[in-house]
C-alpha cells in the first residue's frame, strides 16, 4: 500500500518532468534559432541551422556599418532615450497623482477615478488621426519629446489605478503620526509613502520602460525619417522590406536588444512579482 502510493508519486513526478522538459524546449527553441540565425552566413534562412557550420559576425557588423536605411545604433539610442524618459516621467506623475487620490478627499476625486478607469480601456492609438494632426499642427513630426509626452499620458490612467490601490494598503496611522510630528504632506510622501510603495514603483517603472519598446503604432505615426526611428519600427522594416532577404541581420539586431532587457528583467523579477501580486489580488 505504502509502496503503491510512492510508485504512483514517482510516475506522476516523471510525467511532470517530461511535460516541463517539452515546454522548455518549446520556449528555448525559437530563441536559440534566432541566435543561430544571427551567426549564419548569408541572408537566406533556408540554409539556417541552430549551430552554424561556419559562424560569422558579418550581420552584427552590418548593423553598425552606417547604411542610410539601417541606422541600428541610432535606433537603439532613440529607443533607450524614449524608454528612460517615459519611465521617469510616468513614475513621477503616477506616484504624485496616486498619492493625491489615495490620501486626500477633494472635489472631483470620484469622477477622476472613474475617468481613469474608462480611459485605460480605450486604446490610446484609436486616436491615431488626432495624434497625427496634433503633431502636424505643433510642427512636431519626428519629435521624440512629443512621443514621450504621449507615452506618459498613456501610462497615467492604468498605473495610477494600480499605484493608488497599493498606497491604499499602507496604513493611514503612519501618515497621521507623522503629521502630529509636524511633517508636511510632501515630506510624508517622500519619506513614508514612496519608500513603502517600492514594489509597485518597480511595476510602474517597468511598464513605463517597456511600453514604448512594445509600441509600434504611435511611433510609426509620428516618426517618419529613418534617423528618428525607434527599434520596433526599424526592425519591423528590416523584416518586411524584402521579406526574408535581411532576416539574418534582423536576428542580430533582435539579439542585441533582447539580451540586455531579458537579463535586467530576470534580475529584477522578484521586485515586479511582489508588486504585481499585491496589486492584482487587491484590485
Partner 1 sequence: MLFRKEINEKWVNAMQHRKIATLLSIIPGLGQFYNKQFIKGMIYFVLTLSFFVAFSDLLDMGLWGLFTLGTEVPRDNSIFLLAEGIIAVIVTFFGLAIYYMNFRDAYKNGKLRDENKPLSSLKEQYHNLISQGYPYLISGPSLFILIFAVIFPILFSFALAFTNYDLYHSPPAKLVDWVGFDTFKNIFTVDIWRSTFFDVLGWTVVWTLIASTLQVSIGIFLAVLVNQKDLRFKKLIRTVLILPWAVPGFVTILIFAGLFNDTFGAINNEILAMFGISPIPWMTDATWSRVALLLMQGWLGFPYIFIVTTGVLQSIPSDLYEAAIIDGASAFKKFRHITLPLILVAMAPIIITQYTFNFNNFNIIYLFNDGGPAVPGTTAGGTDILVSWIYKLTMQSSQYSLAAALTILLSIFVISIALWQFRRTNSFKEE
Residues in 216-275 that interact with partner 1 by CB under 8 A = 216-217, 221, 232, 235-236, 239, 243-244, 247, 250-251, 254, 257-258, 261-263, 265-266, 269, 272-274
Query: Which candidate, 75, 72, 79, places its Cα nearest to that of 213?
Result: 79
- Is residue 67 classed as helix, strand or coil in its secondary structure? strand
Three cell numbers at 238? 528590416
Q: Are 279 and 165 in contact (CB under 8 A)?
A: yes
125 near partner 1 (CB under 8 A) = yes
Shortest CB 177 distance to partner 1, Å: 19
Shortest CB 227 distance to partner 1, Å: 20
Q: For partner 1, which is the closer residue by CB, 122 or 174?
A: 122
Q: Are 106 and 228 in contact (CB under 8 A)?
A: no
Q: For partner 1, which is the closer residue by CB, 28 or 65?
A: 28
Alpha helices in the chain, H assignment, sequence order:
2-39, 58-63, 72-103, 109-119, 128-137, 144-168, 172-180, 185-188, 194-196, 198-214, 217-222, 231-240, 247-282
51 near partner 1 (CB under 8 A) = no
Neighbour-count burial for 255-277, b at 16+ CB within 10 Å, e otherwise? bbbeeeeeeeeeeeeebbeebbe
Stretch near partner 1 under the rule CB under 8 A, chosen from 70-78, 98-106, 170-178, 191-199:
98-106
Q: Are 211 and 86 in contact (CB under 8 A)?
A: yes
Q: For partner 1, which is the closer residue by CB, 53 or 126?
A: 126
94 near partner 1 (CB under 8 A) = yes
Stretch near partner 1 under the rule CB under 8 A, chosen from 55-63, 66-74, 171-179, 207-215:
207-215
The C-alpha cell 535586467 sits at 264
Position among 71, 97, 207, 249 found at the interface with partner 1 (CB under 8 A): 97
Q: Are 142 and 223 in contact (CB under 8 A)?
A: yes
118 near partner 1 (CB under 8 A) = yes
41 near partner 1 (CB under 8 A) = no
190 near partner 1 (CB under 8 A) = no
Position among 126, 171, 180, 225 found at the interface with partner 1 (CB under 8 A): 126
DSSP state of 139: T
Q: Are 164 and 114 in contact (CB under 8 A)?
A: no
Helix (H) / strand (E) containing 98: helix 72-103
9 near partner 1 (CB under 8 A) = yes
Per-residue contact string for residues 159-188; x = within reach of partner 1 by CB under 8 A:
-x-------x----------------x---
Q: For partner 1, which is the closer residue by CB, 131 or 205?
A: 131
Shortest CB 234 distance to partner 1, Å: 11
Tally of CB atoms within 10 A around 82? 24
55 near partner 1 (CB under 8 A) = no
Query: Which candidate, 133, 26, 27, 144, places its Cα nearest to that of 77?
Result: 144
Position among 26, 68, 180, 181 found at the interface with partner 1 (CB under 8 A): 26
Three cell numbers at 207? 511598464
Amino acid at each position: 500500500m505504502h509502496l503503491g502510493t510512492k510508485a504512483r508519486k514517482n510516475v506522476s513526478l516523471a510525467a511532470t518532468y517530461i511535460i516541463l522538459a517539452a515546454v522548455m524546449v518549446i520556449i528555448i527553441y525559437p530563441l536559440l534559432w534566432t541566435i543561430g540565425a544571427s551567426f549564419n552566413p548569408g541572408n537566406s534562412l533556408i540554409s539556417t541551422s541552430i549551430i552554424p557550420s561556419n559562424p560569422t559576425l558579418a550581420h552584427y557588423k552590418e548593423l553598425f556599418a552606417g547604411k542610410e536605411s539601417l541606422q541600428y545604433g541610432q535606433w537603439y539610442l532613440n529607443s533607450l532615450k524614449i524608454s528612460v524618459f517615459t519611465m521617469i516621467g510616468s513614475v513621477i506623475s503616477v506616484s504624485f497623482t496616486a498619492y493625491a487620490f489615495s490620501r486626500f478627499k477633494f472635489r472631483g476625486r470620484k469622477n477622476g477615478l472613474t475617468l481613469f478607469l474608462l480611459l485605460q480601456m480605450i486604446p490610446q492609438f484609436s486616436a491615431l488621426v488626432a495624434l497625427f494632426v496634433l503633431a502636424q499642427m505643433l510642427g512636431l513630426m519626428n519629435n521624440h519629446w512629443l512621443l514621450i509626452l504621449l507615452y506618459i499620458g498613456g501610462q497615467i490612467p492604468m498605473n495610477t489605478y494600480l499605484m493608488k490601490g497599493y498606497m491604499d494598503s499602507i496604513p493611514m496611522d503612519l501618515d497621521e503620526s507623522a503629521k502630529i510630528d509636524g511633517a508636511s504632506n510632501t515630506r510624508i510622501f517622500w519619506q513614508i509613502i514612496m519608500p513603502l510603495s517600492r514594489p509597485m514603483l518597480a511595476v510602474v517603472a517597468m511598464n513605463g520602460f517597456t511600453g514604448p519598446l512594445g509600441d509600434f503604432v504611435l511611433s510609426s505615426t509620428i516618426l517618419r525619417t529613418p534617423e528618428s526611428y525607434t527599434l520596433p519600427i526599424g526592425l519591423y522594416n528590416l523584416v518586411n522590406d524584402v521579406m526574408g532577404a535581411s532576416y539574418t541581420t534582423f536576428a542580430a539586431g533582435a539579439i542585441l536588444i533582447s539580451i540586455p532587457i531579458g537579463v535586467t528583467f530576470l534580475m529584477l523579477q522578484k521586485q515586479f512579482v511582489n508588486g504585481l501580486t499585491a496589486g492584482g489580488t487587491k484590485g
